[in-house]
Structure 1
């Protein structure tokens, strides 16, 4: 990595969660298109996934879209809910190289799909509206659907805004068929899209090019001309384009229109070599544009530079890792939560030995007075022998940090800041059963998406 990159990226580390310099310092949330909804439903703006649909209790709604695996596909098609009360005891063989018929761990207590993902039930007098429809299940129950896909809630969500059951972010080509939160479309012009990252909701063009703001611009006025405009292309607003939500149109010069977001003129970077790049934010005065930033992590954590990008780290600068897991039953239940079977994790981090796991991927422990202002982060107690959730008063229980109700870890081979020996550890680069670094930015492999 070049010296100029290091010099430029260091100031970025301190402001990774902050808005662009000319934007308001207070947290801003993503605007969304108003859509018709049946009675009893609402939109809740979550901290990481942006606006999501929720039921009357505020619990996030999810869908299970079809995902191709190596030996078939899982998920649900439009109008065909398959999540039911079946208790699977063997794997499906869809995630090779494992053959079908292998017994799943803890089959005696393994829940059914509906116990983990309760269906959103529609009353007998429920009527469709907009993209909301009512579909019939094989068990005779009427279920709400959005855009044709059946809707569910997650038992992991407790309060409005929780999105612990799934994510819109990419989960890797060899990862399991995960559930995704569903919400209203973002209020962005057709020329733009939003990419969900762990650092926030990144604004890009419809072609995938990153969008940037310039600190030397004034609200509603561009100060980037001449050589600046050759390196940073103003994003043109077509003659037919109209202002939309927080997107406005400014006039650079007579007849030349440019898009602006929250009064900041918008640009793309000519030197960007990859889609969704964040390298332009290394240039002094320039920053990526987010419709919504992720909350700052607790003060126990730091941000560190690596050979490929930026990661979250503990107070010593050691890279933080998250654990991914999905079993291979037909209902594709996740096994990354401490309440799920720990056999998968114990196998990949310690050959089945809990003590070895604690040495290889130790938990990030939390101090007695540790707190978080965000619901994304919490403190939980873990039984070090079983890996399951423990009661606070249990003897020997570990007090650890958790992200989205899942513990986070470091790796024993990482000796100093920026080391990544545990990234992609496990099956299929850590996406199916293994560990991934807590990527905030990856300039080469798209690990941050």
Structure 2
């Protein structure tokens, strides 16, 4: 009797292990998912990176939420310093798109091991960010029958190595994975304009160059005829701003935007016909160390007026 009981127990245990193994295998198996038009299977994707660190699988709140296939909820738009506007889920985790997917008709080519690193975002419960075009939100039916969120046709994923809201560690992985912009395109910051404006906490709206450095006026210059009184050693402290195309400006009044020839043969930019400069004493964007120097140098307002200069 003891022998029979032990044999039966071993058989039951083996069957349980086999069932569990089969279920786990089925979870990760399958061909590429397709949209509602069922365009057929595609090859499994590669170049998706690894979700595992040295010695084991990645862990953390972000990975656990992604692995669990949590709904995205109310989508949101975050601003990243390098990427500009980035689409996130309701918890602030970045959503990604895959270059090897297809947007029209929607199809995901991330299957098998790819899904361990890039869990698909469920379509159920996802709503558009405030002020965004809700018609861009859609879904694609995956091979296992689940619905994956799409933005303008592009399937959306989380990245297993993003452990905190705001992380964008998946950006550029394999040269094929990119953070999604709110419209489903790849997120990328706009190229800075040659001249633009920024809000300074003390000076108000002032003009900055392409690097974000404060732009100044010299009270000893003249606007008509356009003439610079800063020459020689003066230019070492106050470099002249090089010519900028009118169309390469944002927020600056275009009237009076022009260039003029300096005595040394170089050209300098003007705002409202006034020559403009940067200051060598400003080390980083946001510095205004040149403001009021010598009672003759002042930051430039969008209309070309000197900010804070005595009237």
TM-score range, shorter chain: 0.3 to 0.5
* Bigger Rg, which one: 2
- Give the TM-score normalised by structure 2: 0.43
Higher helix share: 2
